[in-house]
Amino acid sequence: MLDKLSLKTLLLELSLVLIVASVIGFFFHQPAIAIIIGLLGLLGWHFKQLLRLSHWLWMDRSMTPPSGRGSWEPLFYGLLLMQQRNKRRRSELRSLIQRFRSGAESLPDALVLVTEEGNIFWCNGLAQHLLGLRWPEDNGQNIQNLLRYPEFARYLQQRQFAQPLVQSLNNGQQVEFRVMPYSDQQWLIVGRDVSQIHQLENMRRNFFANVSHELRTPLTVLQGYLEMLEGGAMPPASQQKALSSMQAQTHRMAELVKQLLTLSKIEATPAYEMRQHIDIPRLLEQVYQDAIALSDGRHQLVYDVDQSLTVRGNEEQLRSALSNLVFNAINHTPNGTKITIRWQKIPSGAEFTVSDNGPGIAPEHLSRLTERFYRVDGSRSRHSGGSGLGLAIVKHALSHHGSKLRIESQPHSQTRFSFQLGKSHILSDE
């Protein structure tokens, strides 16, 4: 291995030239001229090596420096070692950048690297999907030209990054932006999709508002009657009516709490409880007998059930779904309505249907019927004791069984509620 160039090497090289020139000059009796010619030759040789080095640096495309002799050999060899070290360093840097980008691609957030002026020089895949950026087409583009939101532009201009910015995008998504300066005149912009969090927050607010509203009316009735009874201002003939009304309001609140607990229990049911063997015909027989008692002869009930069709799932959830669909048909249809309860095998599995020839439901209500506390006719539902939670319970119970509630209605003609269970739930096939 060659050592680095030293003064000793240069002096030895110079001494060798002088000795050779002196010997030659001694034979020709011109030592001074020979020494001068030798020094000029040495200088010319160094000039030639400098030109070779300059040509390699500026003109030659080869990555390997030229070979050298004498004092130039360690210089060229040192350049070769430096090239090899730089090559290894570049390889390590490429590997490091690749690992960084792979890690950034796996993050659940959109990442955009920009200059202090906002010019993009890298973004990950989620930024392209969530923010609509394109890479590498948008390289060098100003992010404010691509995300045209006044609040976002002010956020970047004010440079008050202690608090995040929640921005509503044109596609309806809610994105939380955080900006972190991480080097001189460079920013890391992190975008997180918080649409679901906002949706859950809105649902929570609506839920508490609806529960408060549902409980306010019966509590007001109870409070009014209790004040009248306490003050002795109620005639004895009206006390029985007041007690009956309070009992009805108490029952309504108890039923509301019961349905809320049922809904909460359904949402928290673990997966291992979804493999029970369920005798649907037996469940439907119980529901049918309860429906006869509830209808009290006011409706024409048709019962069509395949007695051999059993399934796998959660018995309590399916009981809630079946009973809610049947009891809703009785509670929300006028006297004389024909109600058909059907449980039959179909090519794709099994289907449960509750249909009636009542007044039907207007099309604008169909998509919202499974929302919590939603009522087509609030006054009629309250009169019949409905809380607006029945179909929400059905929706969640069926979702755990890989099914969806299907609602079809023709005003003044027919209404049909149905759901299907796939072949994987059918036990009779096994």
- Higher-confidence residue of 68 and 177: namely 177
- Percentage of the residues of the chain whose pLDDT score is greater than 70: 91
Tens of pLDDT, residue by residue over 139-176, are: 999 999 999 999 999 999 988 888 999 998 888 889 99
Decide: 191 and 110 in contact? Cβ < 8 Å: yes
Decide: 109 and 177 in contact? Cβ < 8 Å: no
Q: Which pLDDT score is estimated for 325?
A: 92
- Mean pLDDT (the chain) is 83
Residue 430 has pLDDT above 70, yes or no: no
Residue 205 has pLDDT above 90, yes or no: no
Residue spans per domain, the chain: 7-89, 107-193, 197-267, 271-425
- In this structure, of 187-196, 238-247, 271-280, the range with the lowest mean pLDDT score is 271-280
Q: What is the C-alpha to C-alpha distance for residues 391 and 375, in angstroms, rounded to an integer? A: 10
Residue 379 has pLDDT above 80, yes or no: no
Residue 344 has pLDDT above 90, yes or no: yes
Q: Which pLDDT score is estimated for 406?
A: 92
Assign residue 179 a region: left if phi > 0, alpha if psi is -120 to 50, beta otherwise? Answer: beta
Q: What is the mean pLDDT of residues 348-369?
A: 88
Decide: 400 and 274 in contact? Cβ < 8 Å: yes
Q: Which pLDDT score is estimated for 384?
A: 47
Alpha-carbon torsion, ordered 218, 219, 224, 229, to 10 deg: 100
- DSSP 3-state assignment of 191? strand
Q: Which pLDDT score is estimated for 382?
A: 45
What is the 8-class DSSP label of residue 424?
G
Q: Which pLDDT score is estimated for 280?
A: 92
What are φ and ψ of residue 420, in 5° steps?
-125, 145
pTM over 0.75: no
For the record, the structure tokens of 350 come out as: 């099994």
Distance of CA 264 to the CA centre of its chain: 23
What is the 8-class DSSP label of residue 4?
P
Tens of pLDDT, residue by residue over 214-266, are: 677 778 878 887 877 777 667 777 777 778 888 877 877 877 777 777 777 77
Q: What is the C-alpha to C-alpha distance for residues 164 and 193, in angstroms, rounded to an integer? A: 13
CATH code for residues 271-425: 3.30.565.10
- Percentage of the residues of the chain whose pLDDT score is greater than 90: 24
Q: What is the C-alpha to C-alpha distance for residues 166 and 177, in angstroms, rounded to an integer? A: 6
pLDDT tier, 115 (very low <50, low <70, confident <90, very high otherwise): very high
Helix axes 390-399, 236-267, angle to 10 degrees: 20
Q: What is the mean pLDDT of residues 93-107?
A: 80
pLDDT tier, 381 (very low <50, low <70, confident <90, very high otherwise): very low
Please name the CATH architecture into which domain 107-193 falls: 2-Layer Sandwich (3.30)
Residue 184 has pLDDT above 50, yes or no: yes
Look at the domain 197-267 and name its fold.
Helix Hairpins (1.10.287)
Q: What is the C-alpha to C-alpha distance for residues 366 and 370, in angstroms, rounded to an integer? A: 8
Helix axes 236-267, 315-331, angle to 10 degrees: 140
Q: What is the C-alpha to C-alpha distance for residues 372 and 381, in angstroms, rounded to an integer? A: 14
